[in-house]
Amino acid sequence: MAVNANRPERWKADIAQSVDFYNDWFLRFAPQTYRDSRTQSTFLVEDAFALTSNLANIGADILRLHPSLLPILRMATAPPLARDRLIGLSDISSSLVRSLEIEKRTPPRMSADQLNAELGRIVSILARLLDIDIFPWLKTGSDPSPEERYRAATVVADRLCGAISDPIIRNAQERRQFAALQHWLESRGYSLKADSVSELAELQPGAFAFRLTVPVRQGEREQTVNLPIDLVVQLKDASPGQLPLLIEAKSAGDFTNTNKRRKEEATKIAQLRHTFGPNTRFALFLCGYFDSGYLGYEAAEGIDWVWEHRIDDLTEFGV
């Protein structure tokens, strides 16, 4: 039985309430979240200054030993360099930059000669484009004063946070959604099972778990892939062998991105049903900018949802 997917007459009001709910949260919490992140980033930038003699010594050896410096150094140039722009200017392999920034290491299979050559091209571009207006001590060859160092560090930190502001806000919103779900479930007698659950079948009635990885089959060859599920809830009155309710938490700060990504949920439910059968119960937990186009698409795929501003609708799923 559908809960919200079959009630288009109330979608418009729900969309408006959800947008207001998200905007209220954003105005109250996002600025502080961003400031906290900028403060932490300032410490990281100051550490980078210490490792590079206040940016006077940016060499291949430094990046080899401290690959996490690269995103900071990209934000210390004029103009700040996007990752792909640095790859193009340096004429290097994209795998090197992504390994340095994402995996925080040098590529293990890259030869020493190639690594040295490509790191050298990176630092050559970075040194050439350093923003001298932010780092005036590089002009004079003198040591910066504590005030100059801190001022420069905050500018670079602000750029760094600006480049990743969407993930910062998205992660904060996800933590808040998870906390809301946990509070709601525990207030109704459900218990969180964290490390002790690795498979759906291990979840006992009245228990729930976050970020459970579920193996599913896909493709003609029935290849097995791991599918992350945000929340898995086994109903209190579940019969032996009954699959739990699977929930995906979704939030959005604008309408554009939701419509670009709406096929993701359709792919996920198709994989789940292919593996566990047509009666697999899968729902979305929505907060923010989800318009009628998005909702209609999900409803057509057989996906239902609960709005965060009306979280008690979870009871209609039997929770």
> Residue 28 to residues 23, 32, 34, 46, 103: CA-CA distances in angstroms?
9, 8, 11, 29, 33
Q: How far apart are the C-alpha atoms of 179 and 183, rounded to whole Å?
A: 6
Mean pLDDT score of the chain: 89
Q: What percent of the chain has pLDDT over 70?
A: 97
pLDDT for the residue 190: 96
Packing angle, helices 165-186 and 11-51, rounded to 10: 120
Residue 283 phi/psi, 5° resolution?
A: -140, 155
pLDDT for the residue 210: 93
> Rounded mean pLDDT of 88-104?
90
Residue type at 111?
S
Tell me the per-residue pLDDT of 108-118, one tens digit each, with 9 for 90 and over: 888 989 999 99
Q: Is the pLDDT of residue 247 over 90?
A: yes
Q: Is the pLDDT of residue 220 over 70?
A: no
**Which option is the CATH number for 8-29+167-317: 1.25.40, 3.30.70, 3.40.1350, 3.30.200?**
3.40.1350
Q: Is the pLDDT of residue 65 over 90?
A: yes
Per domain, the residue ranges of the chain are 8-29+167-317, 35-164
Q: Does the predicted TM-score (pTM) go above 0.75?
A: no
Q: Is the pLDDT of residue 309 over 90?
A: yes
Q: Is the pLDDT of residue 208 over 90?
A: yes
pLDDT for the residue 131: 92
